[in-house]
């Protein structure tokens, strides 16, 4: 019996080999603990006379907004609302900072964004890859996987990251970079992933692994139909020292933070959660075995 429609071009395999890895730039490849973002947040508020604590910059969760391409505006807005009283107190006597009660965030955020962008670009100039991250990406590329990076920053900062990546990688660069400002809306909607899949020339989504240190990044991968791997230890929510030895011992406080992030990423739907990208090859090997086992199961039906 003929099919009622022409199926056209499609992937006919129930499972396919892994072809690409799409990962976050911050917290997965560069900037262990996202201290660059945290420092830029602190400097932004210091310019308004407000000193932020480590927990305030570590735990802040910005509300998503269609016009907030990088997610940083949401962080600034959230912190502005939480520190409104302190900001008002610091602004006493300064006529240009007379803040209305209701519109304080809207009044202050635009200038905070300018300061943040300026300070963030400064941190990029001294940023370093996470320990063993570049070596891991090199090995994956040599194994035949395509590598793409999503950068949650503006174009100027991304160019700085590219220069740092090429320097530390001795010429190595991923197959594609994409700033969140180039395609919108951003995570958890899947358009950035689809954009990179098109740029890399890979399909279907089940051949792609999305690696992220955030719940929204995991949701983005799931919405695109990808395998997802969460990264806990090098995330902002853990905020371990940027120069920490990944093979060294860690304090109970950090251990508890890591455990909490593991739980959050699994709750977001991650298929796997790891400490850092240096553990990704092991996960990909396990996933490849699972893929082959699934084919055997299907053939047995």
Percentage with pLDDT > 90 across the chain: 57
State the average pLDDT over residues 120-144: 94
The lowest-confidence range among 143-152, 179-188, 260-269 is 179-188
Would strands 176-179 and 208-212 be described as parallel, antiparallel, or unpaired? unpaired
Tell me the β-bridge partners of 266: none
Question: How does pLDDT run across 20-73, given as a tens digit for each residue?
Answer: 999 999 999 999 999 999 999 999 999 888 899 999 999 988 766 655 666 777
Looking at residue 269, its pLDDT comes to: 96
Distances (CA, A) of 180 to 51, 184, 190, 221: 29, 7, 12, 15
- Domains present along the chain, CATH in parentheses: 20-31+129-300 (3.40.50.1000), 37-124 (no CATH)
Dist. CA 30–CA 158, nearest whole Å: 12
Please state, in angstroms and rounded to a whole number, the distance separating the CA atoms of residues 132 and 277.
Answer: 8
What per-residue confidence (pLDDT) applies to 69?
60
Q: Kindly state the average pLDDT of the residues 116-140.
A: 94
| Weakest mean pLDDT among 179-188, 210-219, 285-294 | 285-294
CA distances from 63 to 68, 81, 186, 266 (A): 9, 12, 12, 21
Entry pTM? 0.86
Q: State the pLDDT at residue 231.
A: 98
3-state class (DSSP) for residue 44: helix
């Amino acid at each position: 019996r003929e099919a009622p429609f022409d199926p056209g071009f499609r992937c006919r395999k129930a499972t396919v080999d892994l072809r690409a890895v799409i990962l976050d730039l911050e917290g997965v490849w560069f900037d262990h603990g996202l201290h660059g973002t945290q420092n830029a947040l602190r400097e932004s508020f210091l310019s308004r006379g407000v000193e932020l604590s480590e927990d305030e910059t570590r735990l802040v969760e910005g509300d998503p907004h269609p016009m907030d391409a990088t997610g940083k505006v949401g962080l600034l807005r959230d912190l502005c609302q939480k520190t409104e009283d302190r900001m008002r107190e610091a602004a006493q006597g300064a006529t240009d900072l007379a803040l209305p009660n209701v519109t304080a965030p809207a009044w202050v955020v635009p200038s905070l964004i300018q300061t943040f962008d300026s300070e963030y670009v400064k941190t990029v100039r001294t940023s370093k890859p996470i320990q063993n991250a570049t070596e891991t990406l090199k090995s994956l590329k040599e194994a035949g996987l395509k590598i793409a990076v999503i950068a949650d920053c503006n174009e100027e900062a991304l160019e700085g990251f590219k220069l740092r990546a090429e320097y530390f990688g001795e010429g190595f660069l991923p197959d594609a970079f994409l700033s969140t400002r180039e395609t919108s809306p951003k995570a958890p909607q899947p358009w950035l992933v689809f954009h990179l899949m098109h740029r890399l020339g890979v399909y279907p989504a089940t051949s792609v692994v999305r690696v992220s240190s955030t719940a929204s990044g995991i949701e983005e991968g799931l919405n695109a139909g990808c395998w997802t791997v969460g990264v806990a230890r090098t995330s902002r929510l853990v905020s371990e020292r940027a120069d920490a030895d990944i093979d060294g011992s860690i304090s109970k406080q950090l251990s508890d933070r890591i455990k909490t992030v593991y739980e959050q990423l699994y709750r977001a739907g991650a298929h796997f959660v790891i400490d850092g990208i240096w553990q990704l090859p092991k996960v990909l090997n396990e996933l490849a075995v699972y893929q082959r086992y699934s084919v055997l199961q299907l053939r047995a039906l």
